[in-house]
Amino acid sequence: MLNLHKSEDLIEAMVIVTCGEASSAQARHLYRETLRSLVRLVKAEHSAELQFSSCLNAPAYQHCKPH
């Protein structure tokens, strides 16, 4: 998964820049896991939007489209 590695690299960079090397391992871990949770949330929201939009493109759901 190429995107996962890109996300992980970005998360690690953000942890280092935001927390700094001198912060505790616990603080870095908490921040890292928070960022990972946000990435999962964004992916889930994106997937739901794609499913919803593909549903609206189906002929049986043409009446559901906003005008």
Q: Please tell me the pTM assigned to this model.
A: 0.70
**Residue type present at position 15:** V
pLDDT at 4 over 60: no
pLDDT computed for residue 1 by the predictor: 44
Q: What is the pLDDT of residues 6-56, one digit of tens each?
A: 899 999 999 999 998 889 999 999 999 999 999 999 999 999 888 888 776
- Kindly list the distances between the CA atom of residue 19 and the CA atoms of 8, 11, 16, in Å, as whole numbers in the listed order: 16, 12, 6
* Domain parsing of the chain, residue ranges: 2-64
